[in-house]
Structure 1
Amino acid sequence: MIVTLTLNPSLDRTIEISRLVRGELVRATGTRLDPGGKGVNVARALAAHGIDSRAVVPRNGTVGEELVALLSAEGIDVCAVPVSGQTRSNVSLVEPDGTVTKINEPGGSLSEADLDAILTAVLSAAEGADWVVASGSLPPSVADTCYADLGQRLAALGVRFAVDTSGPPLRAALRAGPALVKPNRDELAEATGTRIDTVADAARAAKAMLATGAGAVLASLGADGALLVDEGGAVYGESPVDGGRSSVGAGDAMLAGYLAAEVTGGDALAEALAWGAAAVRLPGSRMPGPVDVDRSLVRIHGTPDFSRPLRGQHEVHGMEQIQ
């Protein structure tokens, strides 16, 4: 059993367009509506592969009801906790070359009573679980130490804890000793105060996270693949995608693939890469099922080329080194 926590879930509307022109009328060529939020996506991907999981989410208003209905329709075991804050909606504009413009609402506030009820639900679901995964941003009212506090309580239960977030909540969570963190390239840079321009840069930053308390770091590097760093060393891999449709949720699918392999005994990095690449080939934030995953495209490099430069833009704002 894998339990996911999404404190700031959403309804994600993906609109495909031929070209984004600021200030002009832009006609959609396609659209879809999916339940969203990083932990929600992890649960969706696991459920699509028949992996036993439960998604804990706050719920309020008509958007929250629609979110729960969509999750239930996908066969996901949902623990929806009634709260006072409104569930948010997000919009992604996707161009034919895979460029995504995202507009994310901040989400509603959670009261102290709301948060206590949610964390109680997580701890109850965690009994006998293999993993608890806390993913995504925190609502405006929630303290940066929320994930760290949860991690300490899970450690007392002997349950492995994975974190996928950014900024101060990530830095705080590292000090709680999570078994796994899954930063992307920019989150690695922000957390460690360094630019990530090569595989070597990513490996050094990941090792800094290990020194702070993480058990393992699964760093997603976009089109350049992913790097897994733990006490045994660093392993790098790729799964090329031609003609990708959307990168929304690809990192969440990657994390789900890693966790699935940990539970079923597969190669964790290879499975993570295969699931992440499959998500890129799908529209919107649709999560891949077994028929979408092509493991033959995955290449694992046991001895990484650390000098390899990473492609794509790398803009990091407000870098603050982990303490």
Structure 2
Amino acid sequence: MITLFLSGFFLLAISLDKERISLTKIVSGGIFLALAALARPHFFAVLLTLCGLSLGAVLLLRQYRIAALAFLAICMSCLAIYGAVQMAHSGTFAIMPTQGGFNLWKSNHSQANGLYLQQSLKFHYNGEHKNPSRMESEILYQQDTMLLADAASRVGQDEEAFFWSEESLALNPNRQDARRLRLLAFYNLVATGDEISTGKRWNDFKEDLESLSLDDPYLDFVRGVAYWNLNDLPAATETWLSSFTKHGWNASSSLAALLHTNASAPHKLPSFQSSSLPPNALLIYALNQSNRQPLRESIGFHFPQSKDFYLAVEQSLNRVLPIPDNQG
């Protein structure tokens, strides 16, 4: 593009450098400058300035009148031809390279630029006053913030996961995945005693508890924990019991919560030996309490651990599921 631009300037300069003006060089220079402007709209500022000077020359400088008219004619012709192409393809006469639906497709379709990216975003038409590139950027930024939150959560960086979940919800408050990840990150921070960094309390997540509709056994467990900390003990128990009834050993965290809080556990449990899932730490702790030996033996659960393991899990559970005084 810069080559076209400089070539056009060079041809104009040498055409006016001699006593006899070269119309061929002026026309060629005009074509190069017009193509440069169509390829890079930044050059339109220079092209329009030159067209304005040419118009002034037509009116004021008789000796340059023919040359100026030739330059104006070729520049306007190039722009008009491009506008006609846009008109034929999209129904809109548009001379700017960034205008028109056809041009957007031509620049961004799957074969453009060596097939290095294929966009899959879809959004409804909102009128010509909406900038499609801006809309696309906003959606991509929402996706990026959620990807950062998910990546941080996967490597155990719960403060980062909480922060990026908040950022994602600031852009789109209706994202269920962001609400879920924020709630799970907060639970993990409470379990380690680091929730003060978020400036939040369980009361701040009431809206999440009402709006979340994802079918996720671990999310059910954390929702039950939230209800428990909001002193809605029946809702907590019902959430855990319903989750374990529906998901079985996939919801073992909910069963561990029922056992830890001495709530109403299912009357009959399936054999754990038939499950291909590894037991989680909460379930190991809950079933290895001395008063759970008959239940442990009835389901074939044999996963003893060290005293340090039980102490660490107990401290975590006491943070997330403090036993009320009337049950203590």
TM-score (norm 2): 0.27
Work out which structure has the larger RCO, using CA pairs closer than 8 Å and 6 or more positions apart in sequence. 1
Q: Which has the larger radius of gyration?
A: 2
In terms of fraction of residues, the more helix-rich structure is 2
